[in-house]
Structure 1
């Protein structure tokens, strides 16, 4: 399913997303055309573009809607997201992303890291061109700091016994949820929304991001490799202990702990046993309940935002994300 098939019932949104793609492409300007083509190939291999979608929709909240600005900010945020994915692929040594060879496998790690850094610079270049608020630039810089700290926390915690749900939530709050939050906040701010509504938009995005990551964790255990785009239990194989496993560990610390103490990388047999324990202890069910709680918080916050056609679209997206039909 392509990006445009997902949003097939919203032609205006599709037009805006095409404009976002074009804006990103226009800002990638490198004298060496081979390098430029390689980076554009990566940016063209985007996913559902959820973060720009949230920025585009929340930009309709206030009474100062400006399509050109909303597209520029959505493009900046998507570029930021793509930069983090390139770096993630290097760290995870992932061979493919969405069935396409990753940049570090086509070139090498150094090339990919510099390409990701280049996209970071494009993000802030776009932001600086279109915003008149220095505070918004500072806000985006602080948000990027939170994202990177979340990534560092994840690296530091690899293969560490997964005892604390609180620590896990703190990590994904920065690593994943922050980009959703800043997407909603940026759109609301540039639309001229009130301070209260900006904060509500931020909170809604944070709740959406938390639910999104938890559902990703569930799919890592229960999903189909073809649909998810990576092998089942891929995160756990890398020592990234996700929420279903944390709940399982709390129920059966000795059994789960004994498996996690085995030599790494984990064998297929160990992964199979861990998956069976997650099923037996209800780890996935517990994670689904928490994802539903965050989704409910997001919908409750959405209900308090200013009225407009954008709200119905947001409600549909948030609801579908819980079912992961998107």
Structure 2
């Protein structure tokens, strides 16, 4: 069902989002038929274009005036670049996790094999870099994009280092999420403001908005493993199966009595029965409420930074975006 947010988004940036999608389709062309098919499958099962949407809405909000044709073209290309980067990280994540599904469909690595999946991810990275070089040849944002990629990698490496680690602290979780998820949200918001012509202070506000939104987004994603599986486009409890302890489980492990219950289960090979036992213990521990409260804190932080942007239809729409992402209604 199309809701008010989607209608207003289409009115404000629908034309630009359409061109982002068209540009991505053009960039996914290659001479290898199997690789081309894998890339087109990834694109056709595409996500919600959250990061390009964020970039374009922040651009509208940070500088509420009509764009020049040059500004519009650059924002479209940067929106495509950030979605392509996101797609590349998803493919590589699926290879590492041996994930059978992505976005509710068979993953690239499952259908086409790991070799094709690696090449698909690599090709997407090259397209990302080509778009950056074309648009940011002598701009400080070339380095900012490189730093964002480093943060993403650092977050993933930090998460990998803590697999099956029951003494992991919430601060370690936050540090990893700030990289592997929030870095792209922060980059999208920052680029949207900067390339729309915002000053440094406004761009900094936008970046902090995107960062906190990204952290809250990941926390809610973690909660959905335990609450509303129908809204996930990945196998349920996949993180647990790969030794990645998401926020609700970490919250439960902070409680000595609950940790004592969970410890012997986490040390056994994961079966469906054990998975359900773990899930029941986490739910009964009250950890979901604690995780939800922490997510809400970061949502509120995002709203506080958003409030520093000029009042406009786009700024108010970003407020709706924040709430709907937290409720997973889009």
Q: TM-score, with normalisation over the residues of structure 2? A: 0.92
Q: Comparing 141-150 with 129-138, which one deviates more in the overlay?
A: 129-138
Number of residues of Structure 1 aligned to a counterpart in Structure 2: 322
What is the correspondence of 1:1-326 to structure 2 with a 5 Å cutoff?
A: 7-12=6-11, 13-60=13-60, 61-62=62-63, 65=67, 66-131=71-136, 133-224=138-229, 226-251=230-255, 252-262=258-268, 264=269, 266-326=270-330
Deviations 1:218-252 (A, max 9, x none): 0012122x331233322112211011111101112
Deviation for aligned residue 1:208? 0.3
Instruction: Give the superposition deviation at 1:162.
Output: 4.3
Structure 2 unmatched ranges of 5 or more: none
Retained in 2: the 8 A contact 1:211–1:294?
A: yes
Range moving further from structure 2, 96-105 or 203-212: 96-105
Match of 2:145, SS state, is helix
1:8 aligns to what SS in structure 2?
A: helix
CA displacement, residues 229-283 of structure 1 (integer Å, 9 cap, x when unaligned): 2333221122110111111011122222222122x2x112221111111112111
TM-score (norm 1): 0.93
Q: 2:231 touches 2:328 (CA, 8 Å); kept in 1?
A: no
Segments of 5+ residues of structure 1 without an aligned counterpart are none
Which segments of structure 1 move beyond 3 Å, counting only runs of 4 or more?
none
Please give the secondary structure, in 1, of the residue aligned with 2:226: helix
| Cα distance, 1:105–1:72 mapped onto 2, change above 3 Å | same
CA distance in 2, matches of 1:98, 1:230: 6
Distance 1:229 1:28, change over 3 A: closer
**More RCO (CA 8 Å, sep 6+):** 2
| Native 8 Å contact 1:244 1:284 kept in 2 | yes
RMSD after superposition:
1.9
1:73 CA displacement: 0.6
